[in-house]
Amino acid sequence: MSTPLLSVQELTVTARLAGETRTLIDAVSFDLAQGEILGLVGESGSGKSMICRSLVQLLPSRAIEITAGTVMFEGRDLTRLDEAAMRAIRGGDIGMIFQNPTSHLDPVMRVGEQIAEGIRYHQGASKRDARKAAIEILSQVGLPDSKRQYDNYAHEFSGGMRQRVMIGIALSCNPTILIADEPTTALDVTVQAQILRLLMDIRDQRGLSIILITHDLGIVAQTCDSIAVLRGGRLLEHGPKRSLLAAPKDPYTISLIASHPSMPAGIADASEEHSLEPTTDAISPPIAPLLEIDDLVVRFPASGTSLFNGSGKFITAVNGVSMQVMAGDTIGIVGESGSGKSTLARAILGLTPLTSGHVTFAGADLALDRTKALAKLRRETAMVFQDPYNALNPRLTIGDMLAEVLKVQDKVPADGIQTRIHQLLDLVGLERAFATRKPHTMSGGQCQRAGIARALAVNPKLIVADECVAALDVTIQAQIIDLFRDLKERMNLTLIFIAHDLAIVRNLCERVVVMYRGDIVEEGLSEAVFANPRHPYTAALISAIPDINPDKRLPRLAEQIQADRADIATGLKHPITMNSTTRELPI
């Protein structure tokens, strides 16, 4: 048997908390072969990310340390190396893609320079050569106009585009091992398929070994060679993917497989013949919608311009969108990163100014009476944001955060606030002890659940959930979806659910709206749209959904859409003006 590239034996990680020692990783052992893709799966807090941070000594706190075990790489035990030696290992030999791109990208440094920096440091390239290589990497990871976007900052990108930049940074140093911590969490299914295929192609070309952390068993089934299942810091099961998926031994593995939101058979293999006309359903328009959007347009100044410098150059993020939402509706909005989903959501809640058109909530029009509409929106709507870490105040405990909302809303008596906090934590599946925790001590999934609890604290009529389950493992996803379904039935809650996971949208939402480049290209009842997509873009999204079947290959449709983006990219060099009908790809 050949010597493994990386060998982890009896790795144990402990934390000293409040005078006691807690075991976070309990004697975990596994090998990684040259060219192997190993999938680490398990619920939030199972230890997946902690194991990978331990490999490169990037533990999140001085109170956490490796207390036993070895990590052998190229004849050296990485647990015994000093910081200077580890700096040479990190990036150059072992690259890492972090789960949260917003927290790991420098906000005051151009994204291209962040990629070029690693190329210059690890490869000794000149500034000119590093820039050229960085532009090519940006193109490889799916940015449509890499030359222009080299000079952009992270805040100018959508969540999915920021994640692609993070992947580019990790690949820029030509590592031997790539640790990918939820690398496609923020990406839509078509770009997800493209990125996963890119990682597999690089593996095939260079013999790159990959440790892929994910909660999506569909991704594991289609990309990984072997699977390791973790829970509570322990390795429950490890083996080749086919044998493990076909005959799981541990009850927890069985529950993970059962929780995967698979699409019904035949849906993902819909006919390739599709009409270009949007879906229309024979449904009478509602008499009194809770929310009405009429010809909504949202534009932003193009990079380097403003409303006052006379350039007149704008990017259209939402282009003439109209829709109605009745009380009790559950509507899914799907589309690629940059299609305008999040901009539409923020415009609905008054968080982004409207360029033209109307947004009317419960009779109050944002365009005609912004003050009255905002007052109503702030008391009767809530939003669950995509990035759980940046959406929570790092200085407040979860209990203080919820108490703040309850006090401002003044819907709960002062002596009932603590009881309500406990009820909210129970609703989202967090232990009541989390009321005293701060976000930095919690996993991404736990932070997202806290964000959902904050939204529910408003006791809203409408919740806009922007990728609210993207960071959660499949078992917790199922719980949150069941929670939303239960709230809808008991409270007549109205939900606008933005997601790139079409399987979840189909299971939860009665209606689906498909957006592409700021437009609604198809909408209708979920069953009808998924069973018979009429627009080719909708069909591409459905075909790109990861399937738990390991024999299903990643589709080429993602590359076809990316080729279409190459044509769109030419328009990025000629941004629209207020009087122009030409549009470019939205941010």
pLDDT digits (tens, 9 = 90+) for 301-360: 876 555 455 556 788 889 999 999 998 899 999 887 778 888 999 999 999 999 999 999
Please tell me which of 123-127, 166-170, 476-480, 511-515 the model is most confident about, judged by mean pLDDT: 511-515
| Contact yes or no for 237/229 (Cβ under 8 A) | yes
φ, ψ dihedrals at 52, nearest 5°? -70, -35
Return the CATH architecture of domain 1-84+213-260.
3-Layer(aba) Sandwich (3.40)
What gap in Å lies between CA 469 and CA 500, rounded to an integer?
Answer: 10
Secondary structure of 63-93 as H, E, C letters: CEEEEEEEEEECCEEHHHCCHHHHHHHECCC
pLDDT digits (tens, 9 = 90+) for 211-233: 999 877 888 888 899 999 999 89
SS3 309: coil
Cα 415–416–420 angle (5° rounding)?
150
Q: Where are the domains of the chain?
A: 1-84+213-260, 291-573
Confidence of residue 66 (pLDDT cuts 50, 70, 90): very high
The amino acid at residue 303 is: S
What gap in Å lies between CA 531 and CA 542, rounded to an integer?
Answer: 10
Q: What would the mean pLDDT of 463-473 be, rounded to a whole number?
A: 79
The DSSP code sequence of 372-416 is: HHHHHHHHHEEEE-S-HHHHS-TTS-HHHHHHHHHHHHT-S-GGG
Evaluate if residue 94 carries a pLDDT over 50. Answer: yes
Sheet holding 6-17, edge to edge: 20-32, 6-17, 64-73, 76-77
pTM over the 0.75 mark: no
SS3 426: helix
176: which 2 tokens?
């031997």
φ, ψ dihedrals at 255, nearest 5°? -70, -35
DSSP 8-state symbol, 469: T
What gap in Å lies between CA 112 and CA 148, rounded to an integer?
Answer: 10
Mean pLDDT is lowest, of 282-296, 476-490, 512-526, for: 282-296
| Contact yes or no for 25/54 (Cβ under 8 A) | yes
15: which 2 tokens?
């934390």
CATH T-level topology, domain 291-573? Rossmann fold (3.40.50)
Residue 249, number of CB atoms within 10 A of its CB: 12
What gap in Å lies between CA 300 and CA 158, rounded to an integer?
Answer: 13
Q: How many helices (H) and strands (E) does the chain have?
A: 22, 20
pLDDT of residue 264: 57
Mean pLDDT is lowest, of 446-455, 528-537, 565-574, for: 565-574
- For residues 257-280, one letter each, b for 16 or more C-beta atoms within 10 angstroms of the residue's C-beta and e for the rest, the string is bebbbbbeeebbebeeebeeeebe
pLDDT digits (tens, 9 = 90+) for 541-556: 888 777 777 777 666 5
Evaluate if residue 275 carries a pLDDT over 80. Answer: no
